[in-house]
């Protein structure tokens, strides 16, 4: 396939058209990556909610999951849907914006304003594509700390996030422990299991097998690997749910008909639901970003730099932790949260833990779970009292 002479639009949502804040770093301020490469120039897109107090002691960094972004508590500019954590962030909510200053940053390697594979490589004038350097969870966190520094915040009051966001929280709180007073890693783990890596590999192969992927250069040809990315999303979405939740919502109900068709259309409601999830996902997410971010999750291993001994990652860490898991989460089961708790206990790091009864699967932290909301609200209130953080 020959390369066209004229570049096509990279995506239907130019980053410059998205609302919110951006920090730009030029060639003199490179981001040193775990791979040994340097990323420069680069941009970080983020949103804030609430107001920073006088002594800058009320900042909460919210870390998003794999398919999330910085629009945590407002209508999304691309989909028009409510922010992914609108139930948690806002006035009077568990993360109370009348009390806290919330920062949510689109991860490096993403596709909603922060520099990632869909952006233009200044060395070539073309989209990075697969020439974008491989990034890791520590790389994401190093970038996030640039935003924290921009606001002159010496110590983050709390870092909080679920799934991949929880991995970022763990990295932030252990690597920058003096700068993180409290941390709430939710539905997460110290590393990705072989099963989780396997699920991600199926998704990546689905993307790369799509003829429209074009070796990652689909933007040059005005194409998008929609079918492959949709299949990747469908497969991943199954892992975010539980069998009980799927059965309760769909069972074996047929889709808008009384009889089966004896064909391969979406006979069952669950099939139609998954196809809808896939088709809507490709409208807001970049396929190459999906490859890069899933790879970053696969590479994450909190114990790797400590001889494989997880407790050593918590040595000297004074951050106050609250870990949360959900009984029906088989993607990041409770046993993995308990391993983190045991490691923190072994290092005398202050930690509390709760397993919440829920049949909603891994996605429970994104849904209406009153007990989860009470737990986070109580943890933040207690940490605020201990920190001496007054209400505005």
Residue 136 · residue 129 · CB < 8 Å = no
Q: Tell me what the pLDDT averaged over the chain comes to.
A: 92
Domain ranges, residue 133: 15-192+302-387
Domain shared by 170 and 311, yes or no: yes
Residue 141 · residue 175 · CB < 8 Å = yes
In a domain, 10, yes or no: no
Domain shared by 288 and 319, yes or no: no
Residue 237 a catalytic site member? no
Domain shared by 282 and 164, yes or no: no
Domain shared by 283 and 361, yes or no: no
Domain shared by 289 and 320, yes or no: no
Find the catalytic residue in 64, 114, 139, 163: 163
Q: State the DSSP string of 120-175.
A: EETTTTEE-GGGSPP--HHHHHHHHHHHHHHTT-SSEEEEEEETHHHHHHHHHHHH
Domain shared by 280 and 314, yes or no: no
Please tell me the distance from the alpha carbon of residue 291 to that of residue 204, in angstroms, as a whole number. 6
Domain shared by 135 and 24, yes or no: yes
pLDDT of 262 above 80: no
Query: Cα dihedral sign for 9, 137, 162, 144?
Result: negative
In a domain, 5, yes or no: no
Most confident by average pLDDT, 94-98, 236-240, 303-307: 94-98
In a domain, 1, yes or no: no
In a domain, 363, yes or no: yes
Find the catalytic residue in 64, 192, 200, 362: 362
* Cβ neighbour number for residue 53 with a 10 Å cutoff: 17
Find the catalytic residue in 301, 329, 337, 363: 329
Domain boundary residue, one of 238, 272, 294: 294
pLDDT at 254: 74
- Tell me the average pLDDT across 30-54: 97
**Structural domains counted in the chain:** 2
Confidence of residue 6 (pLDDT cuts 50, 70, 90): very low
* Cβ neighbour number for residue 257 with a 10 Å cutoff: 9
pLDDT at 153: 98
Please report, rounded to a whole number, the percentage of residues in the chain having pLDDT higher than 90.
81
Domain shared by 24 and 132, yes or no: yes
| Phi, psi at 294, each rounded to 5° | -65, -35
Residue 75 a catalytic site member? no
pLDDT at 13: 59
Domain shared by 148 and 230, yes or no: no
Domain boundary residue, one of 241, 273, 294: 294
In a domain, 251, yes or no: yes
Confidence of residue 247 (pLDDT cuts 50, 70, 90): confident
Residue 212 a catalytic site member? no
Higher pLDDT, 99 or 18: 99
Domain shared by 271 and 179, yes or no: no
Q: What is the CATH number of the domain that holds 243?
A: 1.10.1740.110
For residue 315, CA distances in Å to 180, 278, 304, 309, 312 come to 15, 42, 14, 11, 5
The whole-angstrom distance between residue 20's C-alpha and the CA centroid of its chain comes to 18
Confidence of residue 340 (pLDDT cuts 50, 70, 90): very high
Domain shared by 115 and 218, yes or no: no
Domain boundary residue, one of 294, 313, 337: 294
pLDDT of 3 above 60: no
Beta strands in the chain (DSSP E): 21-25, 31-32, 38-39, 42-49, 59-63, 89-90, 95-96, 101-105, 120-121, 126-127, 156-162, 180-186, 320-326, 351-356
- Tell me the average pLDDT across 349-363: 96
Domain shared by 64 and 178, yes or no: yes
Structure tokens at 88: 């948690």
pLDDT at 1: 46
């Amino acid at each position: 396939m020959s390369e066209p002479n004229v570049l096509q639009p990279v995506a239907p949502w130019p980053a410059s058209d998205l609302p919110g804040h951006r920090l730009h770093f030029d060639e003199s301020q490179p981001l040193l990556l775990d791979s040994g490469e340097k990323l420069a120039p680069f941009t970080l897109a983020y949103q804030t909610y609430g107001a920073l107090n006088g002594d800058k002691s009320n900042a909460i960094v919210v870390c998003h999951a794999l398919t999330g972004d910085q629009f945590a508590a407002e209508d999304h500019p691309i989909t028009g849907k409510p922010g992914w954590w609108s139930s948690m962030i806002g006035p009077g909510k568990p993360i109370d914006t009348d009390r806290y200053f919330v920062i949510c940053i689109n991860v490096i390697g993403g596709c909603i304003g922060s520099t990632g594979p869909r952006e233009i490589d200044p060395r070539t004038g073309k989209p990075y594509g697969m020439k974008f350097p491989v990034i890791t969870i520590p790389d994401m966190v190093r970038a996030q700390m640039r935003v924290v520094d921009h606001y002159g915040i010496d110590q983050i009051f709390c870092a909080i996030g679920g799934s991949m966001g929880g991995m970022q929280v763990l990295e932030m709180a252990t690597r920058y422990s003096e700068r993180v007073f409290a941390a709430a890693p939710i539905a997460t783990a110290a590393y990705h299991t072989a099963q989780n890596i396997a699920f991600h590999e199926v998704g990546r192969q689905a993307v790369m097998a799509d003829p429209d992927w074009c070796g990652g250069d689909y933007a040059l040809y005005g194409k998008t690997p929609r079918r492959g990315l949709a299949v990747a999303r469908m497969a991943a979405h199954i892992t975010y749910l539980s069998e009980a939740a799927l059965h309760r919502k769909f069972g074996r109900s047929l889709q808008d008909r009384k009889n089966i068709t004896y064909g391969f259309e979406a006979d069952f409601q669950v099939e139609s639901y998954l196809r809808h999830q896939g088709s809507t996902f490709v409208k807001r997410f970049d396929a190459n970003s999906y490859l890069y971010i899933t790879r970053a999750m696969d590479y994450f291993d909190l114990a790797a730099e400590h001889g494989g001994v997880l407790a050593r990652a918590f040595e000297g860490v004074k951050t106050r932790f609250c870990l949360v898991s959900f009984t029906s989460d088989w993607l990041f089961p409770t046993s993995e949260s308990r391993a983190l708790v045991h490691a923190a206990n072994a290092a005398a790091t202050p930690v509390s833990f709760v397993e919440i009864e829920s049949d909603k699967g891994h996605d429970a932290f994104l849904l209406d779970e009153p007990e989860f909301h009470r737990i986070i609200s109580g943890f933040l209130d207690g940490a605020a009292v201990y920190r001496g953080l007054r209400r505005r």
